[in-house]
Structure 1
Amino acid sequence: MPGHLIIDAIDFARNAGVHHGKISISELGRLQDYLVGNCGELKYTVAGTLSKGEPVLQITVQGSINLQCQRCLGELKHVLDVRTDLLLASNESELSRIDEDESIDVILARSDMDVLALIEDEIILSLPISPRHRESECAIITVGSGDTAGKKTPFSALAHLKKLH
């Protein structure tokens, strides 16, 4: 990833650090497997804070990406509005203890944390498992719909046979 942003996560949170900017979708290498096309950019904000005395990173990502519809395999515009609070654990034992509570998102704090990789992780985790257009918008559904008067369908031959008997 070209533009690395490295922070000391706990220090960043304790000092209420804030970093925001834009990132090109083409720079997010791992995300490419989920996309149709890679043009455009996403806005992000990473803010450090203390919540009940514990260091937290607040991540916000906004923008839109193009996924592949699993029904028609066409392009599907997906709007991202990711908002995540990540509690920072200072060591492995604290991580294990806090991670038992599934309602809390916790990561191991490092002194060389790559913020853009963390943002990419959060985007990937927010993606739908099986992205699909709404039924009325899906190309595979709309191809067969519409006025069929005067058109020969696969079932018209069956209807003709039914009339003979």
Structure 2
Amino acid sequence: MSEGLPEDIDWLRAVKSGLVLEGVLPLVDLPRLREALYGRVEGMLCYSIAFERDQAGRALIRGRLSTALRLECQRCLGPMAQPVDVELMVVLVTAESSLEALPEEYDPLVVEGGSVRLRDLIEDELLLAIPLVPRHPLGQCADPGLAEGDLSSRDGARPNPFAVLAGWRRHPSN
């Protein structure tokens, strides 16, 4: 077992030795992920990554990524914590032609050369774990009108913006 996350890693050597990496990584160190987060970026990512071979001899990266991401709720536009617990399993392939022969349960990672950038792989997995529309569960938004899920009128006094279209209807001519 090794501490720390190297910038680049020789994947062939790592698979051959059965390298295992475990540790924590500040979320602020992941620039693409930072852009998707709400407000000041805080928090740590716990990771466990193992390089190994499967029964068919394919080179694999297996692991687990755990953190809480601070996202913007699309219901109330306030901050929300999104727990993330991602199981990572990718097969390393050197040519795109070998992608068709892979079992469905494997996500391929096409590698060029002898190194893998683990931070990029981790960041990609975290970005994929962000919900398409992040929202608090009903009843947990800061705005009580939104918490009930009533988006049409919070106070009942808001006019219907489509009411003007009712006058545009054509009446059948005689």
> Shorter-chain-normalised TM-score: which range?
0.7 to 0.9
1:62 alignment partner, one of 47, 52, 66: 66
Residue in 2 that maps onto 1:35: 37
Q: Distance in 1 between matches of 2:85 and 2:73?
A: 19
Taking the TM superposition and a 5 Å limit, the aligned residue runs for 1:106-121 are 106-109=108-111, 110-121=113-124
* Aligned partner letter, 2:49: V
Cα RMSD (Å) of the superposition?
A: 2.2
Q: Distance in 2 between matches of 1:48 and 1:25?
A: 23
User: Deviations 1:84-129 (Å, cap 9, x if unpaired)?
Assistant: 110111223213x246x65421111341211111111111111111
Query: After alignment, is 57-66 or 4-13 more displaced?
Result: 4-13
* Aligned partner letter, 1:44: Y
Q: Distance in 2 between matches of 1:27 and 1:86?
A: 22
Q: Distance in 2 between matches of 1:47 and 1:145?
A: 42
Residue in 1 that maps onto 2:125: 122
Q: Distance in 2 between matches of 1:144 and 1:68?
A: 14
Q: Distance in 1 between matches of 2:14 and 2:146?
A: 55
State whether residues 10 and 88 of structure 1, in contact with CA within 8 Å, keep that contact through their aligned partners in structure 2: no
Q: Does 1:81 align with 2:98?
A: no
Please state how far the C-alpha of 1:80 moved relative to its aligned partner.
1.3
1:72 alignment partner, one of 71, 76, 79: 76
Q: Distance in 2 between matches of 1:154 and 1:136?
A: 19
State whether residues 138 and 147 of structure 2, in contact with CA within 8 Å, keep that contact through their aligned partners in structure 1: no
Residue in 1 that maps onto 2:172: none
Q: Distance in 1 between matches of 2:156 and 2:58?
A: 66
* Aligned partner letter, 2:41: N
* Aligned partner letter, 1:45: S
* Aligned partner letter, 1:60: R
Please state how far the C-alpha of 1:59 moved relative to its aligned partner.
2.7
Please state how far the C-alpha of 1:14 moved relative to its aligned partner.
2.7
Residue in 2 that maps onto 1:11: 13
- Number of residue pairs aligned between Structure 1 and Structure 2: 144
Indicate how the Cα distance of structure 1 residues 94 and 75 shifts in structure 2: closer, same or farther if over 3 A, else same: same
State whether residues 76 and 146 of structure 2, in contact with CA within 8 Å, keep that contact through their aligned partners in structure 1: no
Q: Which runs of 4+ in 1 moved over 4 A?
A: 143-146
Q: Secondary structure at the match of 1:139?
A: coil
Residue in 1 that maps onto 2:140: 137
**Unpaired stretches in structure 1, ≥5 consecutive residues:** 147-152, 156-165
* Aligned partner letter, 1:138: C
**Unpaired stretches in structure 2, ≥5 consecutive residues:** 149-154, 158-174
Residue in 1 that maps onto 2:94: 90
* Aligned partner letter, 2:27: I
